[in-house]
Structure 1
Amino acid sequence: MPPTLGAVLRTPRLGLRLRAGGPDAEGRPVRWVAISELTDPTPYLEGGELVLTTGIRWPEGGGEEADLADYTRRLAASGAAGLGFGSGVAHEHVPPALVAAAERAGLPLIEVPGPTPFIAVGKEVSRLLAQEEYEGLTQAFAAQRRLTQAALRGDRAVVERLSADLAKGTAGRSRGEGPSHWWVLLLDPDGRARHAVPEDAAARAGELTGEVSRLRAARRPSGASVSSRGESISLQPLGVGGRVRGFLAVGAAHGLGADERTLVNAAASLMSLELEHRVPEEGELAAGVLEALLDGELDLREGRADRLSAALPRPPVVVALAEAPVGEEKEGEEIPFRAPRGCLTGRIAGRTVLVGPESAAPGEALAEAVAGSVGVSRPSALDGLPAARVEAERALEAAVGEGRALVLASELPGGFLGLLDGRAGRRMADEVLAPLLEQRSSEDLIASLRGYLSAAGRWDAAAEQLGIHRHTLRYRINRIRKLLPGDLSDPDYRTELWIALRLLEDAAKR
């Protein structure tokens, strides 16, 4: 965490004095120092700066009250840590009107005495930043050693150690709070909770099912950030070589800081290695084979797969999916379930899967056994199971959205556009763009992102298209980079954002 305004104020040799800002002013983090005599420096700020000025361009007495009110209000809205006014240069004292305006805007105002050069304030902030970074690295290395020792006792010990280190970390205390409340979950590949600290956090696994399914379906699974119940949740896939062995979920009332991300990434790496060598539990092997077939990770055309092919359902086969598990109550009665002859069943990625010959009607059998919707693929050969799974997922999404018990993939629109159409596509757009849509300035951010992408990242062309100054566009795009979990320089991620923007626009037109 960066140093606070209070730490800068408490540097004796600077002689700084807090003139306005309220009781919480000293707790504000200072990420940099910016010296500016502009009447509006906000297009050049990223947030967290201590802005220093002498007011040399201001009229004698500090200027009009309305101008000072606008100036301080803009700085506060930009997220500036505070305003430092150099007295004894252009103005002998800090203008009283500026003090009043800063107080109303909730902007900390610091008087920098004439003998103190602005460069000295900048050097002190740099020194404090370096000190905080060194202390953070020292603590992170010690925590990583403890995690490595815990890994020798198994994945549960890593979860417990990670939770303990996060709880006593510096993130909360640097803001003047006590130790932050954290919870940590180790999830199976299908999203079920394996270990939870505290134990009642296991109930949060259900909230992550959709995101787990999305990450599993990705060609290159990467981490994701999720917001739920006012908390920020970091979700990391576990595994080596692109094979997902599970997920690590970490939740707290605030987002992860740099030190905390380092700690979580270290735990994820250790647990990935641990899970690669773990002996499968009873039933996991059969479910793993079925899952590998549906993911296309087994090539049944190889001669060595003859015995496996002979043990599988006879094609053409269909894939049936349901969110609800079998064997639970339906309409007040517990319905026992036995898979139709020649069918395979399992619980994969939080969903009940039934794969069997078309003649056995797996979809109808599953619909009778679960208290929820069912989606069914079109008939397929065994080597077409991955595509059939995608069809069944689309059909299930449609069934849930329409409140129907059973939907067949053959009833849905075909082609690539069909994959994006409907509720599933709109939900995907909302999920991808959620960090921007949650902001008060969401319309400006969405419009700026669309203009930036459509202009292939050319600042001048995008700014002209949007009718704004290029520095304003740079400010917005820098903010977007901080809000979004992906990298805007990644062509795959840019494509995903562009499709999400198009889906959002199409939904708005309907």
Structure 2
Amino acid sequence: MRHHATGCYYARTPNELLCRRISRTLVGMPISIAELIRDPELSLRLRAGHGQSLNARIEWAAATEMAVPKPFLTGGELVLTTGMRLRSVRACRNFVRSVAEAGSHGIGFGSGFTHEHIPEALLDEARRAELPVIEVPVRIPFALIAKKVANANAAEKVEQVEAQYRRRERFVELLLSDGGLEAMLAALGRETGAHVAVSVNGELISGSLEIEDPKIESWDALPIALGPAGQATLHASRPRTDDELINTSRTLVGLHLAQDARRRRDERVQAGQVLDDLIAGRLEADVVVPRLESIGLQSSGTYRMLVVTGTGPRRTDLAAMPLPSSLHGSVATVLDDRLTVLLDIHDVTPQRAAEALVAATRAAGIPAKVGIGGPYPGTAALRWSWFEALDALNRLERDRVIGEAPRLSIASLILGASNAPIAELAEELLGPLEVHDKEHGTSLVETLDAFLANSGASNDVATALGTHRNTVRYRIDQIAKITGLDPRITADAVQLSLARTARRLTER
């Protein structure tokens, strides 16, 4: 459709002008439930609602498992849920009323998790409230719907920019094409005779300043209004022509980057809701992995949480700040006004990642500190990395900005609180081993007990188990991979030993 708009830009015949007007009408249309239902990629099914309620603009998509989500909604959103806490008629009715009172425009119910089908009580209440309800198949992640909504609304805002800068519409089209910012800057360079580049928070994101061109006399660093995402600069060499076009392009680049920032904030806030549910223990065991995968994590991966907390009046702007280039592949969320980066242990080291985050926050004008949590698999156990990162922040000395606390162990929890969730932590550490033994007929738990009882002496462990020491080594590698804790490391061995002790005590 956008190709049609581009093709009609220089239209002169009546048919071509009509094509251009139609294209202008269609491009950037606000997203609605009716539009989502028509999307073949989503396979959504309308279960309640009719008329104009299906055409109301959806501002954003909010995933929640709260029984009464109204305090966390802003109105105009599509509320996505699997109904984890909606197990009674009363709960279903209260949920719908809460969503309707918040001014939301509909409910997307994920079937196949807690409920095979949408509860009739929820549908009945939704019809009374004239609130549309769509059924989301189990194979469709909520993140895909949220992305559709965010992208549609972002496209609409860009069309408003095009109306204001009509004589430079070709630049807007380039900015929105597959070439994006690179294509626009290339065209800007050709038309002005300048070399151009863009940096955000002191880091180049497009173009280069290291150019061997004897014609270059100097560089101008032109600030770009970027808002909460930080500081951006358009770098343009001299000599050049058409400074007006350079200044117009600054505005377009700023709007483009600001849209990216808003979309980034929305996506991180939604991912943060998943993290919040995980940390609070609100996720049932069978939905933990799908929910984590919906924000980009893998159950086979091992991650650390780096929690960034800002200070000063702009601390909430961390939510929109772009990650340093060294962390572009990492998942980022926002929780309690903190930016949380989930770092794959095979990527950059946590210390270097923390240093890059501190440098980025300083460049953005947001003083911040970083707490580093320990590595855990992409399962329910990952939440302990959050507590470790917070512990690291609490332990920071006044003149330090990066901290990495020792792993939270059952022993430290016992000492720290009388109501410590000892059994829960033991379950999260040992449950995956027990499941593996049951499903694959292995003896990992038995091997762990023998390994701990014999202080890690492979020959003694092999003798105790009646197997070869190479088999012992293989099993220990499996234990380390599954739990994220290596019994050959003293601190991890203590953690596992305490978990086994807690397990035995709580099974009595």
Q: Is the structural similarity TM-score above 0.5?
A: no
Structure label with greater radius of gyration: 1
TM range (shorter): under 0.3
TM-score (structure 2 length as normaliser) = 0.28
TM normalised by structure 1 equals 0.28
